[in-house]
């Protein structure tokens, strides 16, 4: 390109006003692969359409960059600060049509002569008006807006098919509204966009901007509201770091400043301004370290070894009952173990402490509520972890059954025909009450005690061992 635009040195306050408190205007930064140069395209430019100092090469890609704004927002500048410099880069060099192009949009009538693929910066304008011979295109002297080719319903108005590989819409539409001249503030090095003195692989600046004092919308202000800000052709890997300032919908004059890094007070950092888009980690940080498989904190005290999963959900492994420190202070409220009298005890609010090895943390362990454990109590069986991670078993009854019903005080059978009302005693001995001479278990009509044989002729008849009454005769 030949440099045509001049830097206008004036106060940056013209374009960067008071920053708005709420960020909402920047919707996206769109990168369009406008065209990939074919060998036929390269031959047409290099051999048939004047060529230039820099051959067009098959495989080169032309990229267009757009700012997608919320309805009725206005783009006021593409800027840079020392904290957040602007850069547009390639791993090789940018291609320029140094016959008819410049660091800004070239003439519409020169699109078929190489301007179609030129590298330049702009806001909205894709080609400018001119006078003179019209080699191709019915409206080749009028300024054109740049739009995505998929949004261009006018077809190819300006290349007339001279590039065999370029078919369909050309991404140029007539300017829909009047615009003031584009303003440039600060010092900008245009070498990458002019190849002067030589081709370069990086365009950028650190304390400058270009834009419109009052801001400008896209072609469809109340709809998609997308503004074209630059075109770049290269055979290398394309990348950029941008900053943009938007003005809120009229009548507001407040601005929102979006930067790709190191925001100043009132500025908004956005990864949308970086291309290629950096991988966002699970916390939404571009290039961050919170990646699937790495440690995180799910803020759940009942889990451990928390990690980000493939869906960026932070989740830990349930800490089992051998890893919960709280188990040493959980009372077994009022539970009385049935033991022999000399061993009977209560486990109440003063709980026996668990051994120290029970306090090891075991994220993901198998000692979960409902699973087997050992409460180290020989008088219980079928021990399991409870909901509060207390290991407790079922009291082994007098028949040796954990949780059984043969408990002291309950009925049993001592297999002695001379006893009745048999029950389990405190020592788990099944014993009944002696059936007395009247057939009452535990009764008082025992041999040797007084009775009445209903014989008026007898008296003081003691019972005898077999409980037989003496007859009258």
Per-residue pLDDT tens digits for 424-471? 999 999 998 889 898 898 888 889 888 988 988 887 755 555 665 533
Query: Does 282 map to a domain?
Result: no
Q: How confident is the model at residue 327, as a pLDDT?
A: 35
The average pLDDT across 233-249 equals 98
- Residue 71 belongs to some domain of the structure: yes
pTM score:
0.63
Report, as an integer, the average pLDDT of 373-377: 93
My answer on whether 357 and 409 are in the same domain is no
Q: Are residues 336 and 425 in the same domain?
A: no
Greater confidence (37 vs 179) lies with 37
Query: Are residue 363 and residue 430 in the same domain, yes or no?
Result: no
In which residue are the tokens 């008071």 written? 18
The per-residue b/e assignment along 48-61, b for 16 or more CB within 10 angstroms, e otherwise, is ebebbebebbeebb
Tokens 């910066």 belong to residue: 121
Confidence check: pLDDT of 18 > 50: no
Element (H, E) at 205: strand 202-205
By mean pLDDT, which of 63-67, 248-252, 310-314, 326-330 is the weakest?
Answer: 326-330
Q: Is the pLDDT of residue 147 over 60?
A: yes
Tell whether 369 is covered by a domain: yes
Residue 254 lies in a domain: yes
Written as six digits, the tokens of 269 are 């950092």
Q: End of a domain among 240, 275, 310?
A: 275
Last residue of a domain, one of 393, 421, 453: 393
Q: Of the candidates 393, 425, 452, which is a domain's last residue?
A: 393
Q: Is residue 51 part of a domain?
A: yes
Instruction: Give pLDDT, residue 182.
Output: 92
DSSP SS3 for 355: coil
Regarding whether 223 and 88 lie in a shared domain, the answer is: yes
How far is the C-alpha of 160 from the C-alpha of 168, rounded, in Å?
Answer: 11
- Read off the pLDDT band of 78 (50, 70, 90): very high
pLDDT at position 24 is: 85
Which candidate, 114, 98, 115, places its Cα nearest to that of 54? 98
- Taking the C-alpha atoms of residue 363 and residue 262, their distance in angstroms, rounded to an integer, is 39
Any idea what the Cα angle at residue 370 is, between residues 364 and 376, rounded to 5°?
95
Predicted confidence band of residue 16 (pLDDT cuts 50, 70, 90):
very low
How many domains would you assign to the chain?
Answer: 4
If asked whether residues 219 and 249 sit together in one domain, one would say: yes
**Whether residue 216 is found in the same domain as residue 335:** no
If asked whether residues 102 and 189 sit together in one domain, one would say: yes
Q: Judge whether 191 and 202 are in contact, CB under 8 Å.
A: no
The mean pLDDT of the chain is 84
Statement to judge: residues 369 and 410 lie in one domain: no
Could you tell me if residue 296 is inside a domain?
Answer: no
The pLDDT of residue 17 is 43
The alpha carbon of 244 is separated from its chain's Cα centroid by a whole number of angstroms, namely 26
From 120, 156, 142, select the one nearest 228 (Cα to Cα).
Answer: 120
What does the pLDDT read at residue 4?
45
Residue 321 DSSP symbol: T
pLDDT attached to residue 21: 41
Mean predicted confidence (pLDDT) in 13-32: 67
Q: How confident is the model at residue 48 (pLDDT cuts 50, 70, 90)?
A: confident
- Side-chain half-sphere of 351: how many Cα atoms within 13 Å? 16
Residue 282 CB contacts under 8 Å (≥ 6 apart), including other chains:
288, 290, 291, 292, 296, 308, 312, 314
**What pLDDT is stored for residue 461 in this prediction?**
56
194 and 333 share a domain? no
Strands (E), 94-201: 120-121, 125-127, 144-146, 172-174, 183-185
Instruction: Classify 42 in phi/psi space as left (phi over 0), alpha (psi -120 to 50) or beta.
Output: alpha
Statement to judge: residues 98 and 213 lie in one domain? yes
- For the chain, the distance separating the N- and C-terminal CA atoms, rounded to the nearest angstrom, is 152
Distance CA(194)–CA(102), nearest Å, equals: 6
Closest C-alpha to 182, from 328, 419, 15: 15
How far is C-alpha 102 from the geometric centre of its chain's CA atoms? 44
CA torsion angle 352 358 362 365 (round to 10): -80
What lies within 8 Å, CB to CB, of 375 at 6+ separation is 383, 391, 392, 393
Neighbours of 385 (CB within 10 A): 23
Is 192 part of a structural domain of the chain?
yes
Answer whether residue 423 is part of any domain: yes
* pLDDT of 333 over the 50 cut: no
Task: State the Cα–Cα distance between residues 193 and 201, nearest whole angstrom.
Answer: 9
What is the predicted pLDDT for the residue at 318? Answer: 85
- State the residue range of the domain holding 342: 325-393
Confidence class of residue 329 from pLDDT cuts 50, 70 and 90?
very low
Nearest in space to 216 (alpha carbons), one of 146, 130, 169 = 146
The predicted structure's pLDDT at residue 133: 67
Both structure tokens of 129: 């008006």
Give the pLDDT confidence score for residue 282 in this predicted structure.
Answer: 94
Most confident of 175-184, 203-212, 342-351, 365-374: 203-212
pLDDT of residue 107: 85
Given a cut of 50, is residue 332 above it in pLDDT? no
Percent of the chain with pLDDT over 90: 56
Q: Are residues 138 and 213 in the same domain?
A: yes
Q: Looking at the structure, do residues 336 and 467 belong to the same domain, yes or no?
A: no
CB within 8 Å of 176: residues ≥ 6 apart: 145, 219
Band of pLDDT at residue 131, cut at 50, 70 and 90? confident
Q: Which residue is associated with the tokens 């007539």?
A: 174
């Amino acid at each position: 390109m030949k440099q045509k635009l001049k830097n206008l040195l004036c106060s940056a306050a013209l374009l960067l006003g008071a920053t708005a408190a709420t960020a909402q205007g920047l919707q996206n930064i769109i990168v369009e692969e406008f065209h990939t140069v074919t060998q036929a395209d390269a031959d047409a430019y290099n051999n048939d359409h004047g060529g230039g100092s820099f051959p067009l090469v098959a495989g080169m890609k032309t990229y267009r960059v757009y700012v997608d704004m919320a309805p009725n927002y206005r783009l006021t500048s593409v800027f840079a600060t020392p904290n957040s410099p602007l850069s547009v880069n390639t791993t090789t060099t940018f291609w320029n049509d140094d016959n008819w192009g410049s660091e800004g949009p070239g003439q519409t009538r020169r699109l078929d002569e190489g301007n179609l693929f030129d590298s330049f910066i702009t806001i909205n304008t894709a080609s400018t008006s001119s006078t003179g011979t019209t080699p191709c295109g019915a409206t080749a002297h009028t300024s054109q807006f740049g739009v995505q080719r998929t949004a261009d319903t006018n077809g190819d108005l300006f290349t007339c098919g001279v590039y065999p590989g370029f078919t369909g819409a050309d991404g140029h539409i007539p300017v829909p509204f009047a615009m003031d001249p584009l303003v440039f503030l600060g010092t900008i090095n245009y070498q990458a966009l002019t190849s002067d003195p030589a081709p370069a692989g990086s365009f950028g600046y650190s304390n400058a901007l270009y834009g419109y004092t009052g801001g400008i919308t896209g072609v469809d202000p109340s709809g998609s509201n997308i503004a074209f800000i630059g075109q770049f052709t290269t055979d290398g890997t394309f990348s950029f770091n941008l900053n943009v300032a938007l003005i809120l919908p009229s009548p507001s004059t407040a601005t929102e400043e979006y930067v790709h890094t190191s925001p100043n007070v009132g500025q908004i950092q956005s990864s949308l301004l970086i291309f290629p888009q950096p991988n966002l980690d699970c916390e939404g940080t571009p290039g961050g370290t919170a990646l699937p498989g790495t440690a995180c904190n799910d803020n759940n005290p009942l889990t451990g070894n928390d990690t980000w999963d493939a869906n960026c959900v932070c989740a830990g492994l349930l800490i089992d009952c051998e890893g919960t420190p709280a188990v040493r202070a959980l009372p077994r409220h009022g539970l009385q173990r049935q033991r022999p009298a000399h061993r009977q005890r209560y486990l109440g609010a003063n709980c026996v402490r668990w051994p120290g090895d029970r306090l090891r943390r075991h994220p993901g362990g198998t000692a979960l509520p409902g699973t087997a454990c050992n409460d180290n109590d020989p008088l219980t069986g079928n021990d399991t972890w409870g909901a509060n991670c207390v290991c407790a078993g079922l009291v082994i009854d007098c028949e040796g059954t954990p949780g059984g019903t043969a408990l002291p005080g309950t009925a049993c059978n001592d297999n002695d025909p001379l006893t009745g009302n048999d029950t389990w005693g405190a020592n788990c001995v099944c014993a009944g009450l002696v059936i007395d001479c009247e057939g009452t278990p535990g009764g008082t009509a025992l041999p040797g005690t007084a009775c009445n044989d209903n014989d008026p002729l007898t008296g003081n008849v003691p019972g005898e061992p077999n409980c037989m009454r003496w007859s009258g005769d």
